[in-house]
């Protein structure tokens, strides 16, 4: 299939809490495809009329630039499967698993991939006495990370230093998901590994400013709030281990195309996998384009490689 002869629909926006970031990602991808690469591309704002919009625009290949919600959890991928439209990125199952932090951690643990110790709480069980019990029996000391099981971009994430912070952190996370992950907070170097087509592109170390303390939503998308070090300041053995674990996490979930795997290295030595992002951000501050550029792949070339992956057998 000659992709230059096909109508490419860039799916962007959507209905999730990450809509604004998705619009920026989609616009950057659309401009690369249309203006710089000469593809027959169009923008599709993925609302509740997505199926009708795809038919109206006669889209033949979908470039998914959606973050969070239905765009990243396998629902949109399932719609495209039913409609017979090839699409970029991971399939239905891998997308659903990666978006659900509880189940992706189960897969990682079963595959021998190290993850932070943690517990899962259901909203139906959320009551004051449970909070007190959790503080006493979690099995790992403070500080903790509290986060929704099914959100991305660090939305709804809180750092909890002692028992007084548990309840507000849980309320914040439960407002976004029916299940919440409580983990031991690991202090160390944050490293993101870029994967494309089943190979490691490279990695970047992120150093959030002190005002953020961790790679929060604001640190990710507010310019100047984070330092990026490419490659990470690690010895070759440790960097190689981080890359191997990133690729192993990608493969364990059955991911395809481009992903970004988030890790944290305790004391800069021992890596833990936090999550796999099946639709990495593609804004001017996004990490995958930085990693690709350092590997010799500029932004249009990265976009084209991701598009070509849409035609490989699923």
Provide the pLDDT for residue 216: 47
pTM: predicted TM-score of the whole model, two decimal places: 0.89
Provide the pLDDT for residue 152: 62
Contacts of 94 (CB under 8 A, 6+ apart): 74, 253, 254, 255, 256, 278
The position carrying tokens 């990370």 is 145
Asked if the domains 3-88 and 118-184 are classified in one and the same CATH topology, the answer is no
Is the CATH code 3.10.20.600 the one for domain 118-184?
no
Q: Write out pLDDT tens, residues 241-250.
A: 999 999 999 9
Percentage of the chain beyond pLDDT 70 is 88
Q: Write out pLDDT tens, residues 161-183.
A: 887 888 899 889 998 889 999 99
Is it the case that residue 212 has pLDDT exceeding 90?
A: no
Is it the case that residue 153 has pLDDT exceeding 60?
A: no
Residues acting as catalytic residues: 18, 153, 221, 260, 262, 275, 277, 281
Topology of the domain covering 3-88: Rossmann fold (3.40.50)
If you average pLDDT over residues 116-125, what whole number do you get?
85
If you average pLDDT over residues 11-19, what whole number do you get?
91
> Could you tell me how many residues make up the chain?
314
CA max distance for the chain: 62
Q: Write out pLDDT tens, residues 230-271.
A: 999 999 999 999 999 999 999 999 999 999 999 999 988 999
Q: Write out pLDDT tens, residues 76-106.
A: 999 999 999 999 999 999 999 999 999 999 9
Instruction: Return the domain boundaries, the chain.
Output: 3-88, 98-114+187-309, 118-184
Q: Write out pLDDT tens, residues 270-293.
A: 999 999 999 999 986 789 999 999
- Give the chain's mean pLDDT: 89
Topology of the domain covering 98-114+187-309: D-amino Acid Aminotransferase; Chain A, domain 1 (3.30.470)
Provide the pLDDT for residue 130: 62
Provide the pLDDT for residue 223: 56
Q: Which of 52, 65, 53 lies closest to 19, judged by CA? A: 65
CA distance 307 to 41: 12
pLDDT band per the 50, 70, 90 thresholds, residue 123:
confident
């Amino acid at each position: 299939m000659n992709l230059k002869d096909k109508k490419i629909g860039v799916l962007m926006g959507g209905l999730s809490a990450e809509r604004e970031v998705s619009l920026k990602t989609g616009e950057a991808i659309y401009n690369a495809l249309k203006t710089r690469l000469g593809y027959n591309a169009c923008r599709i704002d993925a609302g509740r009329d997505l199926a009708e919009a795809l038919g109206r625009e006669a889209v033949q290949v979908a470039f998914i630039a959606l973050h969070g919600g239905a765009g990243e959890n396998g629902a949109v991928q399932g719609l495209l499967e039913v409609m017979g439209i090839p699409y970029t990125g991971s399939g239905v199952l891998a997308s659903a698993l990666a978006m659900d932090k509880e189940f992706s951690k189960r897969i990682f643990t079963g595959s021998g991939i190290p993850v932070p110790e943690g517990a899962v709480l259901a909203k139906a069980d959320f009551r004051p006495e449970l909070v007190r019990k959790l503080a006493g029996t979690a099995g790992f000391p403070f500080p903790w990370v509290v986060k929704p099981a099914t959100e991305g971009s660090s939305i709804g994430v809180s750092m909890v230093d002692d028992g007084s912070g548990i309840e507000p952190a849980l309320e914040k996370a439960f407002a976004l998901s029916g299940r919440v992950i409580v983990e031991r907070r690991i202090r160390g170097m944050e490293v993101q590994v870029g994967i494309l087509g089943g190979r490691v592109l490279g990695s970047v170390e992120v150093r959030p400013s002190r005002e953020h303390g961790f790679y929060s939503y604001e640190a990710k998308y507010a310019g100047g709030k984070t330092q990026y070090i490419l490659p990470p300041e690690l010895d070759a053995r440790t960097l190689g281990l981080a890359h191997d674990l990133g690729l192993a996490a990608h493969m364990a979930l059955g991911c395809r195309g481009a992903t970004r795997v988030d890790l944290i290295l305790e004391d800069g030595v021992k890596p833990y996998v936090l999550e796999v992002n099946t639709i990495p951000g593609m804004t001017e501050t996004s990490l995958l384009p930085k990693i690709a550029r350092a590997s010799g792949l500029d932004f249009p070339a990265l976009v084209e490689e991701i598009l070509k992956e849409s035609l490989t057998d699923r």
